[in-house]
Amino acid sequence: MHLTTMRARSLLFAAGLIPAFVASALTQNSAQPPAPPRTEAEKSALLDRVIANEKQSDEAMYSFERIERVESFKKPGDPRTEEIKVSRVIPAGTGLDHIPIGPDGKPTDPGAYHEELVKLERTLSWAADDGHAQREAYEKVAKRQKEREELVDATRTAFLYTLVSTETRAGRILFKYSMAPNPAFKPTSRATSIFEKVHGFVWIDPEAGQIARVEGEVSEDISIGLFLAKIYKGSHFMQERYEVLPGVWMPTYSQYDFDGRRFFSTISVHERTFYSQYHRIGPPKEALAIIRAELSKPDASVSDP
């Protein structure tokens, strides 16, 4: 995958497009179907609630390990999978560590898997230390997180939300909203200017105040990297989220279908990702203890992730 392609996908994430578009509803008595907000004041309160929950979910992603299965395709709707990559994804302080595993969720090469755990142990040991290099690294992480939060906050006024219907998923009521660019919104950065070129739908769980699903489509070409790359109109993305643990909502499925160009070369990304087996591993010091305990087992090289 071209570097610009990866940056394009990352920008869509960072820009708050996945997820962060929606309003929610006030918590109601679980014995009665929740009712949509009736006033602008209620709607404003709902937006604040969902955005706050989204920030908490973003932060929690760096405390939970999970299994990610990424399937790549040549074009949208293609039944043939070009490539499948399955990884055990573990927060490692200033980033995420991806340890390859097989499609069955088990290590394909026990020796190589063990070596990856050893490398991770070193990374976590470094990240758990309190030196000058670590402080600088965490300052950069904090800066990126602040930029992400600012983008999430911008979605509060960047879109107009209109209730379309009420649906049921797994026995829970969801509100479906259409999402359209707000003509009164004034972008403050190149990233927030993307909001003017996206429309779609969002589904929210009103009792939890959480995003359950979001779908969006690029309505105009989006330039990236000083106009050296471009994502074409018609590119599409979606994500589904569930309560994976009590009170913890995380992505369980996402899909990207976008085309564009980099200089004079075409860019084509068509992939879907399945997220499963969420497990809290905590900050580096906690994660380090867990990984060391895993390595200390006699069968550490073949342990299930």
Quote the pTM value: 0.83
Asked if the structure places residue 305 within a domain, the reply is no
Asked if the structure places residue 231 within a domain, the reply is yes
Q: What is the pLDDT along the chain (305 residues), one digit of tens a residue?
A: 444 444 444 444 444 444 433 333 333 334 577 888 888 888 778 778 888 898 889 889 999 999 999 999 988 878 888 899 999 999 999 999 999 999 888 999 999 999 999 999 999 999 999 999 999 999 999 999 998 888 888 888 899 999 999 999 999 999 999 999 999 999 988 888 999 999 999 998 988 999 999 999 999 988 876 556 788 899 999 999 999 999 899 999 999 998 888 877 888 889 999 999 999 999 999 999 999 999 998 765 444 44
What residue numbers bound the domain in which 114 lies? 3-297
Quick one: which of 278, 277, 280, 282 has its CA closest to 127?
A: 282
DSSP states along 30-87: TTS------SHHHHHHHHHHHHHHHHHHHHHTTTEEEEEEEEE-SSTT-SS-SEEEEE
Asked if the structure places residue 126 within a domain, the reply is yes
Phi, psi of 84 (to 5 degrees): -130, 125
Asked if the structure places residue 304 within a domain, the reply is no
Number of compact structural domains in the chain: 1
Asked if the structure places residue 176 within a domain, the reply is yes
Asked if the structure places residue 187 within a domain, the reply is yes
Pairing of strands 210-218, 198-205: antiparallel
Asked if the structure places residue 171 within a domain, the reply is yes
Asked if the structure places residue 253 within a domain, the reply is yes
What interhelical angle do 284-295 and 110-128 show, nearest 10?
A: 150
